[in-house]
Amino acid sequence: MNVEYKYHRLSNILSRVKTLVDEAISNHYFWLKVEIAQIREDRKGHIYLELVDNEEGVVLARSRANIWQTNARAIKNTLGNNADDILKEGSEILCYCEVTYSILYGMSINIVQIDLSYSLGEVERIKQENLNKLIKLGYTDLNKQLTIPLVLQRIGLVSSENTAGHADFMKQLQVNENNFQFAIDHYNCQVQGDNAVSSILGALASIPANTYDIVVIIRGGGSALDLDVFNNYELAVAIASCHTPVFSGIGHETDSTLADYVAAFFFKTPSAVAAYIVERTTQYYVYVCQTYDNILQLYKNRVREENHFIEVSEREIRLYGLAHSKQKKEYLHTLSNRLITEVRKHINREESFIEGATQSVSYRAQRITHKEKQTINEKARLVTFLAQQSIEVHKHKLSTSLERLVYQTKGRIKREQIKLSTYEEITTAYDLSTILRKGFAIVMHNGQLLNEDSTLVIGDELEIAVYNKKYIIKLAEIKEVNQWNNLLTKKQH
């Protein structure tokens, strides 16, 4: 018994669904906050996305979406330099859109506008949350507690080479009024893009402890989203926990990142970091020069004061002796008539006393003067010795660095010369004339090389080329020996 079923076509059902959807939501635009799970752009400029709504890593909803070419061009113009950082997988966006339904492709979301301020605000919100967390855990003061040397000569530079920021930093250090020389080791890394955080973390991890005076992290200017790499929480913790004081110079004058908050010192630009290093070195240089000048001037003033004191003392002693002698002579003159004999004795005693006192005072003054001169000379020699020792230490460091560079350069050149010589020997060894000279020969049959697939018959001619000759041989007898098979058989037995 055949039963006839009432059925519907799929196109009819989906057409009805489309009619219901169009009547309910067609041309109804709304703002949607959603995360981009997948994104691709075809060669015509259309952008196709997969959007998700998740909560704590759990996907609550998923939908296809698209941005048609005209809207895509307008959206990219609106986003400007931030377009690539916003239109990427994992980015959360606020978009103006509508829901469309196709009986062939199902439901889809048509995006016509993306709010740039929301994306930038989201970056700032996450940055503030991470900053509060860093402050709470004490990371913002950790690197600042490290001691920074007075002179910054050994520098570990974390940056991307061949960039404008890197070039500005190096030029500022290398071109300075006093021709200061800095020892800079480059730790090249990526400072923009999806792999930038891991690249910077790897560079920081490779910096050895107790090697540099400071570690410098720099990056030239860019958009807020370009610089968001340096708002990464793990990167901020790594900078704060670095064993060496960290100086940061990231972005422009108005930019600030978490890396700036946790660094020992932060500067607005790469050039500003270099300028500070040069200025700090200049200040120390000026301080040393001024200290030396002050010590020298102090020595001269002390000598001048001591000489003046000696001159005054000698003059006072001389005046005192003359005055005292005159007084005694007048007294003796008054009593001369009555006590001429006694006066003469008294005069002799007084003159002897004055002479002894004068010699004693003069000797004491000379001894004090000599002792003070020796003390001043010793201090001057000590200051001169310390200054020369400091200069010699710095000269030795510069000489050692130069010798090491020359030694490494010569070693590299020697290794490359050995490689080149080896390559030349290999090339010569495989030269055809060299192979033939060793006793090998080239056998040709009918203009082709003789090999295991060649067939020979009596009367064929073979052309045999050795090192300096050719032989034409006509075959009168042919005997084929399976030499290698025999050898293989023997080896197997």
Q: What is the pLDDT, as a whole number, of residue 493? A: 38
Over the stretch 101-159, which tens digit does the pLDDT of each residue have? 887 878 888 888 887 767 666 666 777 788 888 888 888 889 889 988 888 889 999 99
Q: What letter represents residue 457's amino acid?
A: V
Over the stretch 178-203, which tens digit does the pLDDT of each residue have? 888 899 999 998 887 778 888 999 99
CA separation for the pair 174, 182 (Å, rounded): 8
CB 187 within 8 A of CB 238: no
Count of other CB atoms within 10 angstroms of residue 332: 17
Q: How far apart are the first and last CA of the chain?
A: 79
CA separation for the pair 86, 73 (Å, rounded): 14
What are the pLDDT tens digits along the chain (493 aa)? 566 777 777 777 777 777 777 777 766 778 888 888 888 999 988 999 999 988 767 788 888 999 988 888 888 887 777 777 778 887 788 888 888 888 787 888 888 888 776 766 666 677 778 888 888 888 888 988 998 888 888 999 999 888 888 888 998 888 888 888 899 999 998 887 778 888 999 999 999 999 999 999 988 766 656 677 788 888 899 999 999 999 988 876 656 788 888 898 888 888 889 998 998 888 888 888 888 888 888 888 888 888 888 888 888 888 887 887 778 777 767 766 776 777 677 778 877 888 887 787 777 878 888 888 888 888 878 878 887 887 888 788 877 877 787 788 888 888 888 888 877 777 666 677 777 777 788 888 887 888 877 888 888 888 888 878 888 888 888 887 766 555 444 444 3
Q: Which two tokens stand for residue 357?
A: 């006192």
SS3 155: strand
Strand 30-41 and strand 47-55: the pairing is antiparallel
Q: What is the pLDDT, as a whole number, of residue 108? A: 87
CA separation for the pair 89, 52 (Å, rounded): 11
Element containing residue 302 per DSSP (H, E):
helix 270-335
Over the stretch 452-475, which tens digit does the pLDDT of each residue have? 778 888 888 888 888 788 888 888
CB 131 within 8 A of CB 158: no
CA separation for the pair 150, 245 (Å, rounded): 13
CA separation for the pair 234, 241 (Å, rounded): 11
275-303 exposure pattern, b = at least 16 Cβ within 10 A, e = fewer: bbbbeebeeeeeeeeeeeeebeeeeeebe
CA separation for the pair 379, 123 (Å, rounded): 62
Q: Give the strands of the sheet with 246-250, arranged side by side.
A: 183-188, 154-159, 214-219, 246-250, 265-267
Beta bridge partners of 472: 463
Spatial CA neighbour of 267 closest among 214, 335, 225 = 214
Q: What is the pLDDT, as a whole number, of residue 336? A: 67
Spatial CA neighbour of 438 closest among 463, 466, 462, 465 = 466
Spatial CA neighbour of 87 closest among 45, 133, 31, 144 = 45
Spatial CA neighbour of 86 closest among 54, 62, 121 = 121
CA separation for the pair 293, 222 (Å, rounded): 47
Residue 200 φ/ψ region, left for φ over 0, alpha for ψ in the -120 to 50 degree band, beta for the rest? alpha
Q: Helices marked H in 430-480 — which ranges?
A: 432-437
Strand 214-219 and strand 246-250: the pairing is parallel
Q: What is the pLDDT, as a whole number, of residue 229? A: 78
Q: Give the strands of the sheet with 448-449, arranged side by side.
A: 448-449, 442-445, 461-465, 470-474
CB 326 within 8 A of CB 350: no
Q: What is the pLDDT, as a whole number, of residue 343? A: 62
Q: What is the residue whose two structure tokens read 């004999």?
A: 341
Q: What's the whole-model pTM score?
A: 0.45
CA separation for the pair 133, 139 (Å, rounded): 9
Count of other CB atoms within 10 angstroms of residue 347: 16
CA quadruple 384, 389, 390, 394: dihedral, nearest 10:
140
SS3 363: helix
Q: What is the pLDDT, as a whole number, of residue 488? A: 47
Instruction: State percent of the chain over pLDDT 70.
Output: 89
CB 57 within 8 A of CB 64: no
